[in-house]
Every structure is written in structure tokens, then in C-alpha cells.
């Protein structure tokens, strides 16, 4: 019962034959080899599987792949441009804003979406924006600092 | 003590060689120079869980350094990286000792075939026991290389200098040779009796300087591979049928519903019933179609009755330490305080669930697993599947968090069984539900303290009883003349206390012992009308503890006051893994809802030589933020063998919005040996917050987590 589906993935037109009922996360991870999108709970609570659909952060474990037909999907693999890290990625590196790194892709994508909507967030707005992404190693202090820095960098740089 | 001796005897009789024989490593890795060394001492080994003790450490070595023909320095160790950062700190130590660029050093970790045996990665041991041994091995390697360079260049060793992996004549720098060319075409093996503490710390170029993680680029780009990210041709995803509660026995099962789903195969082998599919969603869909009925033999205990249950349980008691005369101490007391402290079961809840990939190929079982104990998993598979160690290889990609929970490795055994049964590579990713159900929780416990003070506020006696939390962190630490610590532990042949698995959780049970001790101290300080910092300093002789307390008070800008003082400031201190730590918390309590917001935490720690200040600071911040969970919200609810919290919907771990301001101090102790850094700062947060709540409201909390309901209840009792 596979069906064709087309969408834009990390800037590229993508066509795929797949079971339309599969969840997006497993199509990304298992069929497309994009394993940067992490599976943490399968119920939408942890945020490790966050991807951007039309620039909105979405829990990919909660979305059937049929939902993304004709849409734009960005995963963590799509942030780097010509070998250069996205400013949010770079800020996470600069601040050591990670430990085990398992929540990191979802955390970074959520932050990227936040900064797109609100390029000058306050500290509280950053915390609110990322509050539903769980990090058990609790790199919390550094995550907030990294996003503040990335926001400044992006305003100055672009 | 008698027990220990017996174990030692049993061990010295064993001569098993771990995983692969030394010769095989050398063969596998080709040319170069090998330095074999032994980082463990026997006492560390005796502290291991019994199951792990069955395999004795080999007497000749259990880690080694390899200087390859291209000059790359590799350290092969059975330890694993789970976010704690030893992949960086261990490489720093080695680069220093060998005078090579940091980038030239590679850590090869947690592969049972390439790495020599290691019991497991826990207990903040990697840097403190492994580090110095590795440093000595690197020094030995350097000596060997200098000898070789000396004969090749015709220059005495005393005149040689090493910089960036190049050995040169100090009086004629043109005469030089690189480590790479020295290692070229060689096959040299050296053995080392470790004599740690080689290089003067003032000469370190890497150690003591802050280094960023070496794995962060991989992790921010999604390139870092965790077990679940691996894929082998023909790989299937498995889901296993689970009982609804611990102790449930299956009566009947009907798998026909699952069999009807296309692309799904049902696998049965005795107690193991699973579905496999190349399509993960199909496996998820199929497993819930299996209908099973169970008999329930439940234990009559739940999260509310467990504390009573524990005290009444038939347990083994053991006096861990005692001195002076408790009765005499009571007589000298002006006031006596008796308190009981409760602490619930707590989950590890790493964001990556237990995951394993197993592949049976040509009689060999290859396993990739998220585990803190690759060699433990190897042995478990050897036993379960009746295989030999040579035919089971465990590898550990990056771990998505461990915290002690991944010292357990049930998922690896399950994946191996399924791979053997089906002949297919099997990926098993535990669901969040399974992760909670089979977690080896931090154990619930009860602590009773009876203590007294004299008219001057000096502690007269300390009678401490701890049920099921063990004695880690139960030291009195204060200078008390009359004391006794009695520990009650499970006597499984007489009475099973826990309805489910328990195991080490970051700084195992030190959180509980530090909570009880430091709240009790606060109670006495308040009753004596003495500022809680002064009270502690007055009753302490431990220089390290005093230094940490003074330094944290300074960092916080602490002003002495009697409690309660409507400020919301609380202090606690203790030690863990050889590291001393003191913390001050500031809280805001909403007295209408009972909600506590931790506004600020300052911490000061003496961890001996701090190898990577950046890494150590991250671990402190992580400990403090993670501690907010056991302090304010984390508790596993259960009814008999049924775990009621099975996800992040009801089991709440710390979120970004809980984040207090955190100020950390690491005391400069570069001339001392390094101690543990991954756990200590977590131990004192619970008590510091409890004491801060008391200071703010006058309400005394005797149990964690301090949920809004419990805070309200305590406020009502004032």
C-alpha cells in the first residue's frame, strides 16, 4: 500500500514511495537515513524528534508522513550550509550546550524556529520557547546562553 | 571484613582472560608501539556488584595505549562516553604526558573486542582511578620513545626534548625524529606496573585548562551515531510483549491479530513473544494486537505504604561505623531531636531509551548497545545463549544519557535472543513505557536520625539508621563524639522488599543520606538559635568541608541569620566520590499553592586536581539542575508490581523554566590527585532547598520530592 509523496526536504525536492501511515520520524530515520532526528518517547512529550515543517517546530513522532505532502521539511542535517554550521549550532558548540547530545537536534531546531519568529527574544521568551524540549543531562544554563548568543550573532550577521 | 577476604581468595584463583587475548589486539591493530597497563586496584573491583565480580580482572593489564605507525596515539579502554565528557578529559591527560597535539589523541571506548576488560562506567571513577594510571602509561610510552629516539639520533636521552610529537636534540634542534617514524615498522609491546603521578602538574599544557567537548560538532549536526541510528541490510525492528505488572504470570495468549498484519512476523520462544517488521510502525501496530491474559501475584505495597513496609521488612542490619557512647551523649544533651526521612523510587529517564542492535553472522553475535557495561552485557549473552566470549562482540556507540540506569543491559540480551531466533539483524528500541517499567530505580528508603545538642550548640550524639539506601554519603561528617550508623539492607531469602528492579542512580543514595543528615543539622541549628552556617562550622573539624562552606558563603554573599528568617536561604554540604561539596539555595515559596521556585544555587567543590575545568563546571551545573527533579517533582508511583508512571506526562523531570541562577566554584587543588566530578554536586541540593523552604516559611519538609501538596501540608502543620 505504498503511495508516492513529494515534499521539500532540507532544500531539495524529494519524491518517495512509502506507506502513507508511517510516522514521519521513521520515514526520516529508516527510509531516508536522516538519523539526526531522535526518538525519545513516541508520545510527543520529549521533543527529541522535533523537525521544522513549513518552519514550524513539529514532533515528527506524531505526524503521519502523508501530512507533509507538498510541504517543506527541515531536519538537523539541513541546517549546515556549505560546510558552515548554522549560528544556533555554532553557539551550542561554543557554549558546550550539550552533554549526551540526544536532545540536541530537537532543541536546536526549536530554537531556530523561535529565532525566525522572534529575532530578539528575551531570556524569558527563550526559556518559554524551549520549555517543552526535555534535556536529562540538564545542560539548561548553557542552552539558554547559546540561544541568546545565536540571536545576537544572527542579528549582526544577516 | 571477613566477606571481603573470601572474595579476594576466590578471585586470585581465576585466570580468565577478558574478551580477546592480548596477542589478538596486537594482531588486529598492526604495527606500532603498545603499552599495556592496569588502571584498577583490587579494592575498586570488590566494590562492584557481585554479578560483575564473577569475571576477575586479568592480572596483566586492562587498558592499553597504541602509538600507531602514522603517529596517532590511541587509548583503548572499556569505558564508555554517555555525555559525561571523559572522551575529552582522558585525551587531554594523555596529550599532556606524551607532548603531542590534543587532536592526535584518539579514545577507543567500550568495544569488547578491541578494548580490554572494564567493569563498567560509573561511580565517578573514570578520571580519578583510570586517569592517573593512563597518565603513568603515557609516561612509560614516552620513555620508550625517547630511548628509541636516543639510539636513532645518537643523542643521550637527557638532551632530548619533545614538542608536538617530535623528539629533538635540545642543543641541535635539526636532529629530530617524529613519534610516527619511531613507531614505523615496529611491533613493540611493553607492560607497565602503574605508578601514577608522573609529570609535575605545573608542566601540564592541557590539564587544568578548559577544553570544549570533542564530540560537539558531531552532536549538533546529527552526525553522531547512537545505537538506534545504526542500520544493517535486512534489519528488522522488534517489539516484545510485556506483562502489565511485575509479578504478572501469563495464562494465555492469542497472537492471531498480530499475524494478520502484512510485513509482520511473530516470534515465540518460551517466555519471549515478539513481533518483528522492517517497518517500525507496523511492529508498533502489531504488538498491541496480541491478546494475553495474566494471573496477578502482586506484592501488597504501594508508593504510600512503602516506607512502613521497609521498616517492618525482615532485613539484615549492619553497624557501618560507631564511636563513643550514645547513652552518655544523650545524657550530655540539652535537647534531643528524633526525625524520620522518606525518599521515593526515582527513575533515570535518559532521553535515549535502552536500545540494542544484534546481528548473528557466521556463528558470531555482534551487538551494539546503549549500555554503561559492555562487558557485563557480553557475559550475559554468553550465559543466556550458551556462547563463548570469543563469539560475542559488544560495541557501544554514543549513549544518550545513562545516569546509572544503563548499567543494566536487559535490552541487549533480548535483541541477541531475537537475532539468534530469526537469523535477522534485530533493532530493539525500548518504548518510553518499557523504559519506566524495567528501569532499575533509585531505591526508596527510610532514614531515622536521633541526635542531640548541648547548651552551647555542640552536637552531643548522632544515632543514624538507614533502611535500603546503603551507606554512601552516610558519614556523620561533623565532629560528634558519640555516634553510630546502622544500615538495613535487603535479605532476599527472607523478604523481597522491592517489587521491581533497583540500581545505582547518579551518586547512588548519597542524595538520600545527605538530605537526612543536612536537614537534621538544620533542625538543630534552628533550635539552638544559631545561624546554620555558623552551626556547621562550629561542629566541623573537616578542613575540606570548612573550606567549601566558607567559599560557597563567599560566592553567594551569605549573611548570617537565625532560621526561619523569611529569607528562603538554605545550606547543605557533604562528600561523594572523593569530592567535597557545599551548596546554598535560595527559594521563593508560594504559600497559597505550595509551589517552590528555586531562584539561585551557589556551589563550591573540592575535587582535587581538576583536569578539565570546563567539563567539571558542566558536570556541576548538570548535577544541580538535575537535582531539582528529585528535590521537587520526581517520584515513581506504583501499586504492587504495577508502575503507574510510564511517561513524561506524569513523571516530570526538570524543565528549562525551573532553571535557577547557578554559581559554581571549583577550589584550586591542582597539586592533589583528581577525584570524581560527575556526581558530587547533585547530593546537597535536596537538603539545601528543604532548609531554604524552612527559612522562608517555617515549614519543615522531611521527604523528597517537595511537591506543592507536601509543602502546603507542612505549612499547615506549623
Q: Which residue has the cell 570488590?
A: B46
In this complex, the residue of B221, B224, B648 whose CB is nearest that of residue A80 is B221
Annotate B272-321 with three-state secondary structure: EEEEEECCHHHHHHHHCCCEEEEEECCCCCECCCHHHHHHHCCEEEEEEE
Distance CA A74, CA A54 (A): 8
B678 touches chain A (CB under 8 A): no
Distance CA A84, CA A90 (A): 9
The widest CA-to-CA distance across chain A, in whole angstroms, is 50
Distance CA B506, CA B404 (A): 6
For the stretch A8-57, pLDDT in tens is 999 999 999 999 999 999 999 999 999 999 999 999 999 999 999 999 99
At B348, is the secondary structure helix, strand, or coil?
Answer: coil
**Chain B residues in contact with A136 (beta carbon < 8 A):** 349-351, 401, 403, 626, 653
Cell numbers representing residue B174 in the block:
635539526
pTM value is 0.89
Q: How far is CA B656 from CA A133, B345, B661, in A?
A: 8, 23, 12
B602 CB burial (10 A radius; 0-12, 13-18, 19+): buried
- The residue of chain A nearest to residue B652, with distances taken between CA atoms, is A134
B150 near B182, Cβ under 8 Å?
A: no
Q: How far apart are the first and last CA of chain A?
A: 46
For the stretch B66-90, pLDDT in tens is 888 888 888 888 888 776 677 787 8
B212 near B614, Cβ under 8 Å?
A: yes
Domains of chain B by residue range: 15-200, 234-296+349-437, 313-345+441-716
A33 touches chain B (CB under 8 A): yes
Judge if B234-296+349-437 and B313-345+441-716 fold alike in CATH terms: yes
Q: Is the dihedral of CA B575, B577, B580, B583 positive or negative?
A: negative
pLDDT of residue B41: 46
Cell numbers representing residue B278 in the block:
522492517
Measure B281 CA to nearest chain A CA, in Å: 6
- Calculate ∠ Cα A54-A57-A63, nearest 5°: 80
In this complex, the residue of B219, B279, B649 whose CB is nearest that of residue A45 is B649
Mean pLDDT on A86-95: 97
A60 touches chain B (CB under 8 A): no
At B670, is the secondary structure helix, strand, or coil?
Answer: coil
B450 near B337, Cβ under 8 Å?
A: yes
Contact A99 B429 (CB under 8 A): no
DSSP H helical ranges for B368-446 = 374-384, 410-422, 432-437
Measure B5 CA to nearest chain A CA, in Å: 39
**Chain A residues in contact with B229 (beta carbon < 8 A):** 29, 35
Q: Is the dihedral of CA B143, B148, B152, B154 positive or negative?
A: positive
Interface of B with A in 210-249 (CB under 8 A): 212-213, 215-226, 228-229, 231, 237
Picking from B101, B86, B106, the residue whose alpha carbon sits closest to that of residue B39 is B86
DSSP state of B111: B
Annotate A61-129 with three-state secondary structure: HHCEHHHHCCCEEECHHHCCECCECCHHHHHHHHCCCCCCCCCHHHHHHHHHHHHHHCCCCCHHHHHHH
- The residue of chain B nearest to residue A135, with distances taken between CA atoms, is B351
Cell numbers representing residue B291 in the block:
491478546
Picking from B132, B133, B102, the residue whose alpha carbon sits closest to that of residue B212 is B102
Contact B212 A39 (CB under 8 A): no
- Side-chain half-sphere exposure of B579, counting CA atoms within 13 A: 36
At B80, is the secondary structure helix, strand, or coil?
Answer: coil
| CATH code for the domain defined by B15-200 | 3.30.365.10
For A87-157, give the CATH class.
Answer: mainly alpha
In this complex, the residue of B84, B216, B225 whose CB is nearest that of residue A96 is B216
Picking from B259, B262, B44, B121, the residue whose alpha carbon sits closest to that of residue B678 is B121
In this complex, the residue of B400, B622, B649 whose CB is nearest that of residue A139 is B622
In this complex, the residue of B224, B229, B351 whose CB is nearest that of residue A134 is B351
- The residue of chain A nearest to residue B233, with distances taken between CA atoms, is A30
Cell numbers representing residue A131 in the block:
520549555
Contact A99 B622 (CB under 8 A): yes
Distance CA B162, CA B597 (A): 54
Contact A93 B655 (CB under 8 A): no
**Chain B residues in contact with A132 (beta carbon < 8 A):** 655
At B585, is the secondary structure helix, strand, or coil?
Answer: strand
**Chain A residues in contact with B647 (beta carbon < 8 A):** 41, 43, 45
At B106, is the secondary structure helix, strand, or coil?
Answer: strand
B46 near B116, Cβ under 8 Å?
A: no
**Chain B residues in contact with A19 (beta carbon < 8 A):** 279, 281
Measure A115 CA to nearest chain B CA, in Å: 17
- The residue of chain B nearest to residue A23, with distances taken between CA atoms, is B281
Distance CA B545, CA B551 (A): 10
B58 near B11, Cβ under 8 Å?
A: no
pLDDT of residue B396: 93
For chain A, give every residue range classified as CATH 1.10.150.120.
87-157
Contact B352 A100 (CB under 8 A): yes
pLDDT of residue B271: 86
> Which H or E element spans position B365?
strand B364-369
**Chain B residues in contact with A95 (beta carbon < 8 A):** none
Cell numbers representing residue B589 in the block:
515559596
Strand ranges, E, within B193-269? 236-240, 248-254, 265-269
Contact B659 A98 (CB under 8 A): no
B205 Cβ contact list (under 8 Å, min separation 6): B95, B96, B99
Distance CA B369, CA B378 (A): 10
DSSP state of B674: -
Contact B281 A144 (CB under 8 A): no
Picking from A147, A153, A85, the residue whose alpha carbon sits closest to that of residue B659 is A147
A101 touches chain B (CB under 8 A): yes
In this complex, the residue of B279, B349, B657 whose CB is nearest that of residue A19 is B279
Contact A43 B648 (CB under 8 A): yes
CATH 3.10.20.30 corresponds to the domain A3-78: yes
Cell numbers representing residue B105 in the block:
589523541
B709 near B635, Cβ under 8 Å?
A: no
A10 touches chain B (CB under 8 A): no
**Chain A residues in contact with B280 (beta carbon < 8 A):** 22-23, 26, 30
Contact A89 B213 (CB under 8 A): no
B286 near B261, Cβ under 8 Å?
A: yes
Distance CA B67, CA B34 (A): 7
B625 near B659, Cβ under 8 Å?
A: yes
Distance CA A88, CA B178 (A): 40
A21 Cβ contact list (under 8 Å, min separation 6): A64, A65, A66, B281
B112 near B79, Cβ under 8 Å?
A: no
pLDDT of residue B7: 30
Distance CA B708, CA A39 (A): 32
Q: Is residue A124 pLDDT above 50, yes or no? A: yes
Distance CA B230, CA B374 (A): 17
A110 touches chain B (CB under 8 A): no
Distance CA B360, CA B424 (A): 7
For the stretch B89-102, pLDDT in tens is 788 888 888 899 88
B78 CB burial (10 A radius; 0-12, 13-18, 19+): buried
For chain A, give every residue range classified as CATH 3.10.20.30.
3-78
B456 touches chain A (CB under 8 A): no
Parallel, antiparallel or unpaired: strands B272-277 and B265-269: antiparallel
Which of B84, B218, B400, B663 is the mutation pick for testing A, counting most A CBs within 10 A?
A: B400
Contact A140 B216 (CB under 8 A): no
Classify domain B234-296+349-437 by CATH architecture: 2-Layer Sandwich (3.30)
Q: Which CATH number fits domain B313-345+441-716: 3.60.15.10, 3.20.20.140, 3.30.365.10, 3.10.20.30?
A: 3.30.365.10
Interface of B with A in 373-402 (CB under 8 A): 398-402
B332 CB burial (10 A radius; 0-12, 13-18, 19+): middle
At B421, is the secondary structure helix, strand, or coil?
Answer: helix
Which of A49, A140, A144, A149 is the mutation pick for testing B, counting most B CBs within 10 A?
A: A140
A80 touches chain B (CB under 8 A): yes
Report, as ranges of residue numbers, the positions in chain B whose pLDDT lies below 50: 1-20, 40-60, 196-199
Q: How many CB atoms lie within 10 A of CB A36?
A: 26
Contact A142 B618 (CB under 8 A): yes
pLDDT of residue B25: 62
Amino acid at each position: 500500500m505504498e503511495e508516492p509523496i513529494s515534499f521539500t526536504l532540507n532544500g531539495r525536492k524529494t519524491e518517495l514511495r512509502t506507506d502513507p501511515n508511517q510516522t514521519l520520524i521513521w520515514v526520516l530515520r529508516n527510509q531516508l537515513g536522516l538519523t539526526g532526528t531522535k526518538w525519545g518517547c513516541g508520545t510527543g512529550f520529549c521533543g527529541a524528534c522535533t523537525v521544522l515543517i513549513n518552519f514550524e517546530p513539529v514532533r515528527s513522532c506524531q505526524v503521519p508522513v502523508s501530512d507533509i505532502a507538498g510541504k517543506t521539511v527541515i531536519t538537523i542535517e539541513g541546517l549546515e550550509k556549505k560546510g558552515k554550521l548554522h549560528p544556533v549550532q555554532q553557539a551550542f558548540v561554543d557554549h558546550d550546550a550539550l552533554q549526551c547530545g540526544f536532545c540536541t537536534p530537537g532543541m536546536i531546531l526549536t530554537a531556530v524556529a523561535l529565532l525566525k519568529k522572534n529575532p530578539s527574544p528575551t531570556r524569558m521568551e527563550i526559556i518559554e520557547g524551549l520549555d517543552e524540549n526535555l534535556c536529562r543531562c540538564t545542560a539548561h544554563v548553557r542552552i539558554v546562553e547559546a540561544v541568546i548568543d545565536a540571536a545576537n550573532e544572527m542579528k549582526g550577521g544577516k | 571484613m571477613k566477606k571481603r577476604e573470601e572474595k579476594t581468595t576466590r578471585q586470585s584463583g581465576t585466570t580468565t582472560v577478558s574478551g580477546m587475548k592480548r596477542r589478538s589486539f596486537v594482531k588486529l591493530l598492526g604495527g606500532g608501539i603498545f603499552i599495556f597497563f592496569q588502571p584498577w586496584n583490587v579494592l575498586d573491583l570488590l566494590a562492584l556488584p557481585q554479578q560483575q565480580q564473577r569475571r576477575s580482572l586479568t592480572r596483566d593489564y586492562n587498558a592499553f595505549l597504541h602509538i600507531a605507525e602514522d603517529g596517532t596515539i590511541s587509548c583503548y579502554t572499556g569505558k564508555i562516553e554517555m555525555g559525561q565528557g571523559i572522551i575529552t578529559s582522558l585525551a587531554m591527560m594523555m596529550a599532556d604526558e606524551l607532548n603531542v597535539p590534543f587532536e592526535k589523541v584518539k579514545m577507543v571506548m567500550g568495544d569488547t573486542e578491541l578494548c580490554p576488560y572494564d567493569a563498567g562506567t560509573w561511580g565517578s571513577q573514570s578520571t580519578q582511578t583510570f586517569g592517573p594510571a593512563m597518565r603513568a602509561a603515557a609516561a612509560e610510552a614516552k620513555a620508550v620513545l625517547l630511548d628509541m629516539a636516543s639510539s636513532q639520533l645518537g643523542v643521550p636521552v637527557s638532551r632530548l626534548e619533545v614538542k608536538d610529537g617530535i623528539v629533538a636534540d635540545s642543543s641541535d634542534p635539526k636532529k629530530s625524529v617524529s613519534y610516527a617514524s619511531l613507531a614505523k615498522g615496529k611491533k613493540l609491546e611493553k607492560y607497565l606496573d602503574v605508578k601514577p603521578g608522573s609529570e609535575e602538574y605545573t608542566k601540564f599544557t592541557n590539564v587544568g585548562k578548559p577544553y570544549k567537548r570533542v564530540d560537539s560538532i558531531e552532536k549538533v549536526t546529527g552526525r553522531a551515531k547512537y545505537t538506534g541510528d545504526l542500520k544493517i541490510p535486512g534489519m528488522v525492528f522488534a517489539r516484545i510483549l510485556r506483562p502489565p505488572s511485575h509479578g504478572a504470570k501469563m495464562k494465555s495468549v492469542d497472537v492471531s491479530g498480530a499475524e494478520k498484519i502484512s510485513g509482520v512476523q511473530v516470534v515465540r520462544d518460551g517466555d519471549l513473544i515478539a513481533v518483528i517488521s522492517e517497518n517500525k510502525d507496523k511492529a508498533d501496530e502489531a504488538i498491541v494486537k496480541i491478546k494475553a491474559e495474566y494471573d496477578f501475584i502482586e506484592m501488597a505495597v504501594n508508593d504510600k505504604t512503602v516506607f512502613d513496609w521497609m521498616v517492618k521488612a525482615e532485613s539484615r542490619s549492619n553497624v557501618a561505623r560507631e564511636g563513643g557512647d550514645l547513652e552518655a551523649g544523650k545524657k550530655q544533651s540539652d535537647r534531643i531531636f528524633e526525625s524520620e526521612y522518606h525518599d521515593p523510587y526515582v527513575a533515570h529517564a535518559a532521553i535515549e531509551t535502552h536500545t540494542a542492535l544484534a546481528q548473528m553472522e557466521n556463528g558470531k553475535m555482534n551487538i551494539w548497545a546503549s549500555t554503561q557495561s559492555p562487558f557485563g552485557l557480553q557475559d550475559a549473552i554468553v550465559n543466556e545463549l550458551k556462547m563463548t566470549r570469543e563469539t560475542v562482540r559488544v560495541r557501544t556507540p554514543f549513549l544518550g544519557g545513562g545516569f546509572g540506569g544503563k548499567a543494566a543491559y536487559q535490552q541487549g540480551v533480548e535483541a541477541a535472543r531475537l537475532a539468534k531466533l530469526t537469523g535477522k539483524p534485530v533493532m530493539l528500541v525500548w518504548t518510553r513505557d518499557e523504559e519506566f517499567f524495567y528501569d532499575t530505580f533509585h531505591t526508596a528508603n527510610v532514614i531515622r536520625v536521633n541526635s542531640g545538642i548541648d547548651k552551647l550548640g555542640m552536637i552531643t550524639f548522632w544515632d543514624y539508621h538507614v533502611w535500603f539506601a546503603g551507606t554512601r554519603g552516610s558519614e556523620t561528617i561533623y565532629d560528634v563524639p558519640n555516634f553510630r550508623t546502622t544500615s538495613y539492607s535487603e535479605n532476599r531469602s527472607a523478604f523481597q522488599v522491592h517489587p521491581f528492579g533497583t540500581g545505582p542512580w547518579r551518586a547512588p543514595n548519597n542524595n538520600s543520606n545527605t538530605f537526612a543528615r543536612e536537614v537534621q543539622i538544620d533542625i538543630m541549628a534552628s533550635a539552638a538559635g544559631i545561624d546554620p552556617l555558623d552551626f556547621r562550622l562550629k561542629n566541623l573539624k573537616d578542613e575540606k568541608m570548612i573550606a567549601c562552606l566558607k567559599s560557597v558563603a563567599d560566592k553567594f554573599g551569605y549573611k548570617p541569620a537565625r532560621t526561619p528568617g523569611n529569607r528562603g536561604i538554605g545550606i547543605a554540604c557533604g562528600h561523594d566520590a572523593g569530592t567535597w561539596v557545599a551548596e546554598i539555595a535560595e527559594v521563593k515559596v508560594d504559600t497559597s499553592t505550595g509551589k517552590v521556585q528555586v531562584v539561585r544555587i551557589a556551589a563550591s567543590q573540592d575535587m582535587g586536581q581538576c583536569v578539565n575545568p570546563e567539563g567539571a563546571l558542566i558536570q556541576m551545573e548538570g548535577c544541580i539542575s538535575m537535582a531539582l527533579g528529585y528535590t521537587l517533582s520526581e517520584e515513581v508511583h506504583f501499586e504492587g508490581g504495577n508502575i503507574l508512571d510510564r511517561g513524561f506526562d506524569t513523571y516530570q523531570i526538570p524543565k528549562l523554566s525551573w532553571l535557577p541562577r547557578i554559581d559554581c566554584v571549583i577550589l584550586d587543588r591542582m597539586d592533589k590527585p583528581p577525584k570524581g566530578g560527575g556526581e558530587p554536586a547533585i547530593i546537597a541540593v535536596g537538603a539545601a532547598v528543604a532548609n531554604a523552604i524552612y527559612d522562608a516559611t517555617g515549614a519543615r519538609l522531611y521527604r523528597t520530592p517537595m511537591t506543592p501538596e507536601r509543602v502546603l501540608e507542612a505549612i499547615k502543620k506549623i
